[in-house]
Amino acid sequence: MRIIPLGGSGFEAEVCGWLHRAWWEEDGWSLAETIEYCAGARGPGIPMVWVAVAGGMPLGTVALDEDDLFDRADLNPWLASLYVRPDARREGIGAALVRMVERHAAAAGFARIWLFTPDAAEFYARLGWRPIGMDAWHQQEVTLMQRDLQP
Mean pLDDT of 65-71: 80
Give, in order, the Cα–Cα distances in Å from 116 to each of 42, 103, 123.
23, 19, 12
Q: In a 3-state reduction of DSSP, which class is residue 41?
A: coil
Are residues 23 and 80 in contact, defined by beta-carbon separation less than 8 angstroms? no
Assess whether pLDDT exceeds 70 at residue 61: yes
**pLDDT exceeds cutoff 90 at 42:** no
**CA-CA distances (angstroms) from residue 104 to 84, 114, 130, 146?**
19, 14, 19, 15
pLDDT > 90: percent of the chain:
69
Cα separation, 3 vs 93, in Å, equals 9
Output Rg (C-alpha) for the chain, integer angstroms. Answer: 14
CATH topology for 2-110? Aminopeptidase (3.40.630)
Say yes or no to pLDDT of 151 above 70: no
Instruction: Give domain limits for the chain.
Output: 2-110
Tell me: pLDDT of 24 over 90.
no
